[in-house]
A and B are shown apart, each in its own frame.
Chain A
């Protein structure tokens, strides 16, 4: 009952945020004045102290989640950690700093030697990756407030069709590449700008972002963690790290009896069924060879498209856009001045300065956008190759990359009954067992 109340609060967040945003914009600002709708500002006198509190809590929660997932194997305890993560990192700390957004700060720091990375941001970037290197994706399992929010509202997961899933799984890689490009050029931090949850956590935000957040939460009720699986750019880095994990989720504590219950229970399709060597290996080899021959062509083609698209993508940058507006104003002096051109004049800058600034940014985009195109080509090629690859296994195993350590598979596996001397070995458990939950559901 308490859990349902907590889930109710989580669900109420988008509605509250929507209400606040709607209230603020329900009345237009007075006309013919400089009045602007004020931003709410909260006093944060203990901000520097909070840096260390946040980092200590993050480290503690990562270790606690690793212990719960790998040793305690308890879904119930993990849910309590998740609720705390949503409450503290989400609603209390307003969803910021978050590990996902920290990618941009780190990228900006790597390409701008004058930028000093804040300690909290560095910690939020490194600690989850270190945890993934040793324990798998425990950050996703219970510490990330965005993942926890999606996980807590999941009612019953629908399987995403394999073809659609394969396409959607490339999106986080593309989003990561785009976020790195825009952060490197200093254009924008797009992950923060288009974060669907931050508006809910702050109960305030751009109208369409609140709507987007509401849609993501609504989807999360029927599709397991849609943001984590099909959008989150940080999940790409966590996947890479978790492939080298020292300890990771193993469904059974003993031999697998191939009951398929764990694969049914996993809402994220992360349990791989046993596979045998295909009979026609010749055909598989030919497919791999074709893909290997096609990969460089695709990569070069997408890089060329990127090169052609670079002026269009560069127009997203305010400096480039401003230079183009000023150029238009110079070409057509009789036309009324735009707000952007007027603001530039008011700061007593010359148009030449704007052109020089924009030319430097456009040059960065001329290199960056083809690289982004090539990156997309490499991702598509490698993803296609990974689907052609046959892994020979005899048991049901959790995929190290895509498993988010939610601990659902433990509670349905009947093997612990035998291993730990529990009464019987039911294939479909009928007696109530502590920490058990319905197949494919969270509530």
Chain B
């Protein structure tokens, strides 16, 4: 076996992983953007959002917790 076959084999495997991962990543995340369902209407910026006080998304829950509107650590 030629001495330089190892790096090229490694490069080949890397490019296989790269070209498999890229479409898988885009496809999976892209599919999630085309669902019908609840979504954030304000670019996930709760502070300036009008519905942050009633929103059910975890980001809004964290926001309300951080601003003291709903403190889960106090009975």
Q: Which residues of A contact B (CB under 8 A)?
A: 39-42, 44, 47, 50-51, 94, 96-97, 101, 104-106, 108-110, 113-122, 125-126, 129-130, 133-134, 182-183, 186-190, 192-193, 202, 204-206, 209, 241, 243-246, 316-318, 321, 325, 328, 338-341
B18 touches A183 (CB 8 A): no
Confirm or deny: B58 has a beta carbon within 8 angstroms of a beta carbon on chain A.
yes
Starting from the known contacts A116-B37, A186-B58, 5 additional A-B residue pairs (CB-CB under 8 Å) come to A39-B47, A110-B32, A118-B43, A130-B25, A193-B62
B18 touches A192 (CB 8 A): no
A193 touches B65 (CB 8 A): yes
B33 touches A118 (CB 8 A): yes
B43 touches A51 (CB 8 A): yes
Q: How far is the CB of B53 from chain A (nearest CB, A)?
A: 10
Return chain A residues, CB-CB under 8 Å to B21.
133, 241, 244
Nearest B residue to A130 via CB reads B22
Nearest B residue to A134 via CB reads B18
In the bound complex, what is the Cα–Cα distance between A40 and B49 (angstroms)?
11
Q: How far is the CB of A347 from chain B (nearest CB, A)?
A: 12
Return chain B residues, CB-CB under 8 Å to A133.
18, 21-22
Q: How far is the CB of A220 from chain B (nearest CB, A)?
A: 23
Chain B, residues 43-75, CB within 8 Å of chain A (1/0): the string is 111011010000001110111011100101111
Q: How far is the CB of B19 from chain A (nearest CB, A)?
A: 9
A120 touches B58 (CB 8 A): no
Return chain B residues, CB-CB under 8 Å to A245.
18
In the bound complex, what is the Cα–Cα distance between A101 and B73 (angstroms)?
23
In the bound complex, what is the Cα–Cα distance between A206 and B29 (angstroms)?
32
Give the residue among B59, B61, B63, B74 with the most A Cβ atoms within 10 A.
Answer: B59
A–B pairs, 13, beta carbons within 8 Å: A105-B44, A105-B59, A110-B32, A113-B37, A115-B32, A115-B57, A118-B40, A120-B43, A130-B25, A133-B18, A133-B21, A188-B61, A209-B66
With known contacts A97-B44, A130-B22, A188–B58 Cβ distance under 8 A = yes
The 4 A-B residue pairs whose C-beta atoms are closest, nearest first, are A116-B39, A117-B32, A114-B37, A338-B75
Q: How far is the CB of B70 from chain A (nearest CB, A)?
A: 7
A115 touches B35 (CB 8 A): yes
Which of these, B33, B36, B42, B74, contacts A122 with CB under 8 Å? B33
Nearest A residue to B67 via CB reads A39
Q: Which residues of B contact A (CB under 8 A)?
A: 14-15, 17-18, 21-22, 25-26, 28-30, 32-40, 42-45, 47-48, 50, 57-59, 61-63, 65-67, 70, 72-75
Number of A-B residue pairs, CB cutoff 8 Å, is 141
With known contacts A118-B44, A244-B17, A246-B18, A189–B72 Cβ distance under 8 A = no
B25 touches A116 (CB 8 A): no
Return chain B residues, CB-CB under 8 Å to A42.
48
With known contacts A116-B32, A189-B59, A96–B45 Cβ distance under 8 A = yes
B38 touches A126 (CB 8 A): no
B61 touches A106 (CB 8 A): no
Give the residue among A97, A117, A125, A321 with the most B Cβ atoms within 10 A.
Answer: A117
A244 touches B18 (CB 8 A): yes
B72 touches A316 (CB 8 A): yes
With known contacts A114-B38, A116-B38, A125–B29 Cβ distance under 8 A = yes
Return chain A residues, CB-CB under 8 Å to B63.
192
Nearest B residue to A317 via CB reads B72
B70 touches A116 (CB 8 A): no
B30 touches A122 (CB 8 A): yes
Return chain A residues, CB-CB under 8 Å to B62.
188-190, 192-193
In the bound complex, what is the Cα–Cα distance between A241 and B73 (angstroms)?
38
With known contacts A116-B35, A338-B75, A318–B70 Cβ distance under 8 A = yes
In the bound complex, what is the Cα–Cα distance between A132 and B9 (angstroms)?
21
In the bound complex, what is the Cα–Cα distance between A441 and B2 (angstroms)?
44
Return chain B residues, CB-CB under 8 Å to A106.
29, 32
In the bound complex, what is the Cα–Cα distance between A341 and B75 (angstroms)?
8
Q: How far is the CB of B57 from chain A (nearest CB, A)?
A: 8
